[in-house]
Each structure stands twice: as structure tokens, then as C-alpha cells.
Amino acid sequence: MTKIRIAIQKSGRLNKDSLEILKNCGVSIDNGKDQLKASARNFPMEVFYLRNGDIPQYLRDGVVDIAIIGENVLIEKGGDIDIAEKLGFSKCRVSLAVPKEVEYNSVQDFQGKRIATSYPNTVKEYFKGKGVEADLHIINGSVEIAPNIGLADGICDIVSSGSTLFKNNLREVEVMLKSEAVLAVSQKISEERKTILSKLQFRIKSVLQARQSKYVLLNAPNDSLESILKLLPGMRSPTVLPLAEEGWSSVHTVINKDKFWEVIDELKLVGAEGILVCPIEKMVL
């Protein structure tokens, strides 16, 4: 039986989030501690647990068919690899930072300076576009310490909350790019495995759509129903059902979580009552 081969990060936050989305897609994986390869019980899939930086080459060589990987890693090491889906989790940015006490005006301040980074290709491309030349020190690991020990004048690294920079007396001065987890696809994937990928993508899209949405139920006086319906989106249109109490209806719809509070406030102003909000597990469009 043909199985699609997926690579995910061996350890770390991306590992946890990757396994979580596969679980939400109904894929049950049998894997033990320190296991580097595992199979799914209920889906034609093999999982390879790999170092994040090695995944682009495995995709390029066709050793794995797909991977869940940070977009920043692909930009640095796999610019020729296709992205099938942006996954919306493990968001971060690749930024330039300098010691807090250093005055900073613009990216031109990095001219001729020493920059410690694990992302040399990304930095070179960014500086090239800005007309800046700098001396890059490639470090695999914690680059934040480099300015403190006199190895560099600044750093380029991934930033999530910024707490690591703060602890090392650094401040973020330039955001070079924003990144999130993506589903990447090998150019050597077979047609048979593309069919399996389509099934997986369908499930992933259903999960991602559900994560971005809330199911809302509310009671509406019929004389305000028209105004309320104008405020409400829906997958096609809101569902309206009569209540036992004459003159009232129950309205059911789906709201994007980013617009949720704005819509709820407006609904209350036009007479909506008894508003219930429920999470959505899956959304099949």
C-alpha cells in the first residue's frame, strides 16, 4: 500500500503543533519515545522526525513527499520548494537586533558591521536589496550571546515574543520577514501520493477554517430581524428558525473570530438577546 511520507520537526514547538493538526485531521500516529519514523493507523502516511534544518534537503531529494516546516527555514534553505498550504501556527518573524544601548536610525547602520546569524542567505538577500554590506558570522545555536561576548555588533534571528532578546539586552530594530508553519511539497512526489495529499489538504483546510470561526446562536425579535441579518455573515446565509414565543426567532450563523467582538457589540445594539458562542471542531465547505 502506497503511503505519503511526511517530515516534521523532531522536537520543539513545531513538533507539538504539527502532531496536533494531524490529530485534528483524524490521523492517529503510532510513535514511541525517541522514534524517528512512525506510521499512521488510519491514514496512508509515514512520519519522519527530522532536524528542522535538514528537512528542505529531504524534500529536494524526494526522501519525503511533504513536510510541516517553518516558512523561514524554506526561505533560507529551500527557495525552490513549493508551499501547498500556510498553516497559521508557529508564527514568528526573522529580525535584526542590536544591543539596547546602541543608537539606531536605519538599516544603513549595519553597513560594515558584524552580524551573527543562523540565516546567512536571508540576511545577504535582505542587505543586498538595501545596498548594505556587512560581515556575517554564521552561528548554529544561540546567536543572542554574540554581541555580549564581542563577537558581533548585532544579530539576525527568529523572534516570537521578544523575551529572549530582552533577557540578552538586545532590541529588535528591523523585521526582515514574517513566518508561520507551512505544508511544503517535494517536486518529486508521485501522482499516486498527490492523490493522498489532496485528501490530507482537504482535512487540513477544514480544521484551519474551523479554527478561524465561531458558531453563534442568538434570539432575535422579528421586528429587528432584518437589521440583525444584515450584520451576520454565514457559510451561505444565516439560518432562521421560529421560537415557541410568538414574535421571536432563533438565528444561527458562523462568524470569523477576528471580527467576533465587533459583530457581537453591533448585534446587541439592534436587539439580539441570549447570544451563545460555540467552538467549531471542523468546517467542511
Residues 259-279 pLDDT 10s? 888 888 888 899 888 999 888
Q: What does DSSP say about strands 45-50 and 4-9: parallel, antiparallel, or unpaired?
A: parallel
Question: What ranges in 131-214 are assigned the alpha helix state H?
Answer: 163-167, 191-211
Residues 63, 52: one domain?
Answer: yes
Residues 111, 79: one domain?
Answer: no
Residues 49, 101: one domain?
Answer: no
Q: 25 lies in a domain?
A: yes
- 119 has a pLDDT exceeding 90: yes
Average pLDDT of 116-138? 94
Ramachandran angles phi, psi of 224, nearest 5°: -110, 5
Q: What percent of the chain has pLDDT over 90?
A: 62
Of 210, 226, 257, which marks where a domain is finished? 210
Cβ–Cβ < 8 Å for 56, 78: yes
Number of domains the chain contains = 3
DSSP state of 178: E
| pLDDT range class, residue 235, cuts 50, 70, 90 | low
Q: What is the pLDDT of residue 234?
A: 58
Domain containing 245: what range? 213-279
Q: What percent of the chain has pLDDT over 70?
A: 97
Residues 258, 129: one domain?
Answer: no
Q: 285 lies in a domain?
A: no
Query: For position 51, which CATH number holds?
Result: 3.40.190.10
Closest-CA residue to 17 (of 160, 181, 200, 209)? 181
- Give CA–CA dist 201/27, Å, rounded: 12
Residues 21, 85: one domain?
Answer: yes
Closest-CA residue to 211 (of 251, 260, 177)? 260
- Give CA–CA dist 196/198, Å, rounded: 5
| pLDDT range class, residue 142, cuts 50, 70, 90 | confident
Cut 0.75: pTM above it: yes
Q: What is the pLDDT of residue 155?
A: 95
Q: 268 lies in a domain?
A: yes
Q: What is the pLDDT of residue 198?
A: 96
- What's the whole-number average pLDDT of the chain? 91
Q: 14 lies in a domain?
A: yes
Residues 201, 241: one domain?
Answer: no
- 140 has a pLDDT exceeding 90: no
Residues 134, 249: one domain?
Answer: no
Average pLDDT of 196-222? 93
Residues 174, 184: one domain?
Answer: no
Residues 120, 11: one domain?
Answer: no
DSSP state of 257: G
Residues 113, 171: one domain?
Answer: yes
Residues 101, 50: one domain?
Answer: no
Residues 12, 81: one domain?
Answer: yes
Question: What ranges in 25-148 are assigned the alpha helix state H?
Answer: 55-61, 71-77, 120-130
Residues 74, 39, 59: CA angle, nearest 5 degrees:
20
Task: At 190, list the grid cell.
Answer: 508521485
Q: How far is CA 5 from CA 21, 105, 186, 193, in A?
A: 16, 47, 10, 9
Question: What ranges in the chain are assigned the alpha helix state H?
Answer: 13-24, 55-61, 71-77, 120-130, 163-167, 191-211, 225-231, 260-269
pLDDT digits (tens, 9 = 90+) for 16-62: 999 999 999 999 987 766 778 999 989 999 999 999 889 999 999 99
